[in-house]
Amino acid sequence: MHSRYSRLFLNILPVFLIAIFFCSKSLAMNPCETSCSYYVKQNGAIFYRNCHRQLVPVDADIKTFKELPSTCGGPYFAVDKNHAYCGEKILEGVDPASFESIRDVYAKDKSHVYSHFSFSCSVVGEAEPASFEPFKAPPSWDGSSPLYFKDASHVFYEGRMLPGAKVKSFKFLVDDFIAIGMDDEHVFYRDKLIAGVNSGDVKLIPHPPQYLTSYWTDGKHVYDRGELLQNADLPTFKIDDEKTASSMAYVADDKDHYYIPGEKDGAEIIMDKSRCSLIGRDFLKCDDSLYDHGKKFTYADAPSFHFVGLLSLTEDCKPIRGFAIYEDVQHIYFVGNSDINNMPPAKNAPQVSSLTPQFKQYLCDHMNDR
């Protein structure tokens, strides 16, 4: 999940609810991807409980079986007197006596280095096990496992070698969805070489701590993950600050555009300010259409859609913070957090065009009915 929050839509007629919740930073750049899996000893046998909650038998010697250390909550690797294991799978050709884990997502024996990424295990063919180790992470990185690793001659990211990277001068920046590696000649987004960038000028673009973002600069241009934003104006480019602009309709803007990161690299949604206006804090109206975080909001009547005001409900009907109220000719809409996800369908909802006590009481009544 790349965007800074996800939305859940609930059609409660004639009141329309949009629930918003923020995603955790742990979903972003943390390589500990399978903490939902682990080994289980049961009925005299070894099983691997995978992330589908399935117990998969492991053909292991239970008397000598041991899990290798992990801080991720896995573990990913194990060994017995005969074999080494990655999850439920036997790693063929591994020397069990010299097999050891290296900071969670890697392991090695006397001959090879092995990785566990994207829920699969593989040999890191270019890696030299005797010198294989993690780079020291920058102070900003609070993830439980390092991102970049090295041996005497190469740099690695998620088991892949960075072509041409220089070990002695290599360092990296990391924040949320960004991992920018660099040496004195090259810049990499994760393991992708970014051509034409001076590594000495690379900086992350500051953002409010509650937002997950992926923007960085080389001092001349703006990048989102590994892609150049061709028309972005660096001097005026800023990431939206909830304390000032209080907008959830976009993530960043400059003098000419609004920017919303797409789900994949290179999928940035760019909205032209000359044809767009901000409605409340949650929507952009561009030409004759409404947009919710870059996607067309087709549920409302765009010509009559407008912002009404803000509403906070009391703790008597469960804590709900900061609802923004909108309406068009047919419906009332409010945007809030995920506390109302299980609210039952409305019956006889009041038709109001302002934040009346009747409307507040209606919301409270239905919250207490959950």
H helices, E strands: number in the chain: 1, 36
Q: Cis peptide before 350, with omega less than 30 degrees from 0?
A: no
Neighbouring C-beta atoms of residue 203, cutoff 10 Å: 11
Phi-psi region of 118 (alpha: psi -120 to 50; beta: other; left: phi over 0): left
Distance CA 286, CA 63 (A): 67
Neighbouring C-beta atoms of residue 256, cutoff 10 Å: 14
CA-based radius of gyration for the chain: 26
Nearest to 1 by CA among 182, 148, 176: 176
Kindly give, in sequence order, each residue whose CB lies less than 8 Å from that of residue 261, ignoring residues fewer than 6 positions away. 2, 3, 213, 214, 224, 225, 251, 267, 268, 269
Distance CA 67, CA 70 (A): 9
CB distance 221 to 234 below 8 Å: yes
Q: What is the pLDDT of residue 363?
A: 63
pTM of the entire predicted model? 0.75
Q: What is the pLDDT of residue 246?
A: 47
Distance CA 70, CA 56 (A): 20
Q: Where are the beta strands (DSSP E) in 80-221?
A: 84-86, 89-91, 100-102, 106-108, 113-117, 120-123, 133-134, 148-150, 155-157, 160-161, 171-175, 178-182, 187-189, 192-193, 203-204, 215-217
CB distance 17 to 343 below 8 Å: yes
Per-residue pLDDT of 281-304, as tens digits, reads 889 999 989 998 888 888 889 999
Q: What phi and psi values does residue 46 have, to the nearest 5 degrees?
A: -105, 135
Low-confidence residues of the chain: pLDDT under 70: 1-35, 71-74, 139-145, 176, 209-212, 241-247, 264-266, 311-323, 336-370
Nearest to 12 by CA among 271, 322, 370, 306: 370
Positive or negative: CA dihedral 48, 72, 145, 260: positive
Kindly give, in sequence order, each residue whose CB lies less than 8 Å from that of residue 277, ignoring residues fewer than 6 positions away. 284, 285, 286
The encoded tokens of residue 69 equal 């250390």
The side-by-side arrangement of strands in the sheet containing 178-182 is 171-175, 178-182, 187-189, 192-193
Q: Cis peptide before 129, with omega less than 30 degrees from 0?
A: no
Residues paired with 89 in a beta bridge: 86
